[in-house]
Amino acid sequence: MLPAGNSAAGLSFGGLLKVLFLLAIAGVAMRMTILAMPPVIPFVHRELPMSETQVGLLVGLPLALFAIAAVPGSLLIARIGTNLAVVAGMVIAALAGAARGAAFDIWTLYAAAIATGFGIAIMQPAMPTLVREWLPNRIPLGTVVYSGGMLIGASLAPIFTIPYVLPLAGGNWRLNLALWAIPAILIAPVFFLLSPASTGRIAAKALPGRWWPDWRNPVIWLIGFALGSNNSPYFATNALLGDYLTAEGRSDLLGPALGWLNGSQIPALLILLFASNRLQRRAWPFVLFGPLMLAAFVALMVNSSTAGIIGATAIVGFTGAMTFAPILALPALLSIQGDVPRTAAGMFTISYSCAIVVPTVCGALWDTTGRPWTAFLPLCLCAVVLTVLGALVTRYKPSTEGSGR
The string of pLDDT tens digits covering residues 123-156 is 888 888 888 889 888 888 888 898 889 888 888 8
pTM over 0.75: no
Closest CA to 325 of 86, 67, 128: 128
Closest CA to 83 of 247, 176, 205, 194: 194
Query: How far apart are the two ends of the chain, measured CA to CA in Å?
Result: 31
Q: What is the CATH number of domain 13-403?
A: 1.20.1250.20
The pLDDT of residue 206 is above 50: no
- pLDDT category of residue 293 using cuts at 50, 70 and 90: very high
Sequence ranges of the domains in the chain: 13-403
Residue 192 near residue 83 (C-beta atoms within 8 A):
yes
Closest CA to 235 of 330, 120, 139: 120
pLDDT of the residue at 1: 42
Average pLDDT over residues 360-369: 89
The pLDDT of residue 163 is above 50: yes
pLDDT of the residue at 65: 78
Average pLDDT over residues 350-374: 87
Q: Which of 86-90, 106-110, 138-142, 400-404 has the lowest mean pLDDT?
A: 400-404
Q: Which of 17-21, 179-183, 246-250 has the lowest mean pLDDT?
A: 246-250
Closest CA to 28 of 146, 170, 206, 149: 149
pLDDT of the residue at 399: 62
Q: Which of 23-27, 100-104, 204-208, 312-316 has the lowest mean pLDDT?
A: 204-208
pLDDT of the residue at 337: 66
pLDDT of the residue at 170: 92
The pLDDT of residue 330 is above 90: no
Q: Which of 13-17, 111-115, 333-337, 373-377 has the lowest mean pLDDT?
A: 333-337
CA 313 to CA 241: how far, in whole Å? 9
Most confident of 42-56, 265-279, 343-357, 383-397: 383-397
- pLDDT category of residue 7 using cuts at 50, 70 and 90: very low
Q: Degrees (nearest 5) of the Cα angle 277, 150, 56?
A: 125
pLDDT of the residue at 10: 61
